[in-house]
Amino acid sequence: MAVLEVSLLSAPAAVSYIRTSLRLIHFSGMVLGLGGAVFLDLMLSRYRRSLVSAELVAHVEWISRFVAAGLLLLWASGLGFLLLYQFAEPEKLLNPKIWAKVTIVSILTLNGLAIHRFVLPFVRQQIGTTLLSGIRPATKTALIGCGVISIVSWSVPVVLGAAPQLNFVVPCEVILAAYAPMLVQAFFIGKLLMRDRCMAAVQEA
C-alpha cells in the first residue's frame, strides 16, 4: 500500500488517468442504473392493465439485469474513488457529500436485493392475469416502496454528482435529511396513483 501511495503521489498524470477512468465507469453505471430503472417503471406502468405475458416478464428481467450491472459499476467506481482519495487526495475523504452518496447507494443496493427477491417473482406469478389483479394492500405498499426507493435513490446521486457547490459545504446529515422527505413525498404520490389504477382496474373488471 505504501508503495502504491508513493507511486501515485509521484505520478500526477497517473492519478489523472485513473480519475478519468473511474469517472467513465461511474457515469456508465449511472446511465445503466437510472435509465434502466426509469424504463422499467414506465414499461410496467404502460402494461399495468394488460395481461402479463411471459414475454413481458422476460423483458422486465432483462432490463433488471442492466440496473444490476449499473449498480455493480457504481460500487466498483465508488470504491475506486475512495482508494484513490486515500492514497492521492486524502483531504477529499472529508467531503460529507461522498458519505451521503455511499449511504444512499447502500440503501439502493438493499432495495435492489428486495426487488430481485420480491418484485420480480411477483411479476412472474402474475402471468396470465393483469399486473394488479388480486393485489393485497401489503403487496401494493411493498411494490410502491421498492419503486420509489429505486427512482429516488438513483436520481439523488446524479444530482449530488452534478452539484460541486455542495462539496465540503453541506453536512452528510443535512443531505440525508433532505433525501428522506423526498422518499416520503414520492411514496404518497405513488400510493395515490396506485389507488387510482386499482380502482380503474376494478371498474374495468
Domain range annotation of the chain: 12-204
pLDDT at 8: 52
Give the residue among 181, 198, 162, 151 at the shortest CA–CA distance from 39.
151
Burial (Cβ within 10 Å: 0-12, 13-18, ≥19) of residue 28? middle
Is the per-residue pLDDT at 33 higher than 90?
Answer: yes
pLDDT at 195: 67
pLDDT at 1: 53
Residue range 91-109: average pLDDT? 94
3-state secondary structure of 90: helix
Is the per-residue pLDDT at 5 higher than 80?
Answer: no
Least confident residue range of 85-94, 110-119, 131-140: 131-140
pLDDT at 184: 94
Q: What is the pTM of this model?
A: 0.84
Task: State CA 12 to chain mean position distance.
Answer: 33
Task: State CA 58 to chain mean position distance.
Answer: 21
